[in-house]
Amino acid sequence: MNYQKVTLTFPAENLSGIAERLSLSGFSSYELEDYSDLCSESSRRFYDYIDEELLRRQSEDPKIRYYFEATPQGNEELAQLVALLREPGFESVRCIIEEKDDSEWRDRWKEYFKPFAVGKRLFVYPPWEENVRIPEGRTGLVMDPSAAFGSGTHATTALCMECAEDYLVKDACVLDLGCGSGILALSALKLGAGRADCADVEESAVRVTLENARLNGILPGRLRAKCADVTRGALFGLPYDLIFANLVSSLLIELADEFPKHLKPSGVLIASGILAQRKDETQKALESAGLKTIDERFREEWYTLVLKRNR
């Protein structure tokens, strides 16, 4: 498919005003590249470490990108944007328009996602892989991560799935916070959970999770997914037998007091996404909130903690 890629570059101090005016004019769906606030307090909530290359880019001017299909409608929308940029107030904006064709690279990443085993019981494979043979004794899990995080190959995700094998009880009620592709909730259902609730701040993750549930033949009554900020309190109003929280340390610490409220008396929290250097402070926060560590696992540079209610 041919499309037009439009890149708008302008001084950082003009970002909020330009973005607001573009949105009010109907151009609200855009891709923003802005490194100026990487070290701000709000950014630190979601990232435990920041690559040095990104830090070096803090001085770069922000960029807003739009993509228009090479169709009559897309060409008309592009013309409207170009006309808008000629109006007063956009003098500081530099505009570059490039014609692109995504036919060669859009699915190239699929070449690297091959079937693989996780733990003792699960076998993950993509829907486009033909003639998949599921090893004897394993349960197949079809996953299309698409634009969402979570194919099962990352250490944090794999550790969560392995812990679920050991701590999930039959017919359990499960919560997956920051569900991404839904792989953890779906793994739990495949391993014998009764139902699963999923939440993520990204709408695309919710769509991908529901599609993966369909690919695995999971009935709608067994899985719910909603777009929600996990830091905003109760999501579904249920106590759970098991909660997956594959997040980052800053969010795990922020949510520490909330986890016991949503666990059944015998419930288990599987907390992951913990870098080795932040393991102690994260574990301390969770235990101070009334949880007791019953297991911990380490792979590459990541820890996963398994905790139960202590009171």
Domain boundaries, the chain: 2-101, 154-309
* 242 or 56, which is more confident: 242
The answer to whether the Cα torsion of 38, 274, 282, 229 is positive or negative is positive
Closest CA to 178 of 241, 223, 229: 229
- Does pLDDT of 267 surpass 60? yes
pLDDT of residue 111: 67
- Does pLDDT of 146 surpass 50? yes
- Does pLDDT of 2 surpass 50? yes
With tokens 């009935």, the residue in question is 219
Closest CA to 246 of 163, 169, 189: 163
- Dig out the tokens for 39 from the structure: 């070290």
Task: Report pTM.
Answer: 0.69
DSSP 8-state code for residue 135: P
CA angle 156, 159, 164 (to 5 degrees): 130
Give the chain's largest Cα–Cα span. 68
- Does pLDDT of 279 surpass 80? yes
Closest CA to 214 of 116, 273, 143, 291: 143
Find out whether 208 and 179 touch, Cβ atoms under 8 Å. no
Range of 7-16, 68-77, 286-295 with top mean pLDDT? 286-295
Residue 218 dihedral angles phi and psi, to the nearest 5°: -80, 120
Q: Rounded distance, CA 132 to CA 238, Å? A: 37
Q: What is the mean pLDDT of the chain?
A: 86
Amino acid in position 10: F
pLDDT of residue 114: 85
Mean pLDDT of 48-68: 69
Q: Which fold has domain 154-309?
A: Rossmann fold (3.40.50)
Q: Rounded distance, CA 23 to CA 44, Å? A: 27
Strand pairing report for 302-309 and 263-275: antiparallel
- Does pLDDT of 239 surpass 60? yes
Closest CA to 125 of 91, 146, 151: 151
CATH code of the domain occupying 2-101:
3.30.70
- Whole-number percent of the chain with pLDDT over 70: 85
How far CA 217 is from CA of 53, 125, 190, 213, in Å, comes to 43, 15, 10, 6
Q: Rounded distance, CA 61 to CA 36, Å? A: 8
Find out whether 146 and 208 touch, Cβ atoms under 8 Å. yes
Mean pLDDT of 210-236: 85
Residue 261 dihedral angles phi and psi, to the nearest 5°: -65, -25
How many other C-beta atoms lie within 10 A of the C-beta of residue 110?
13
Find out whether 193 and 218 touch, Cβ atoms under 8 Å. no
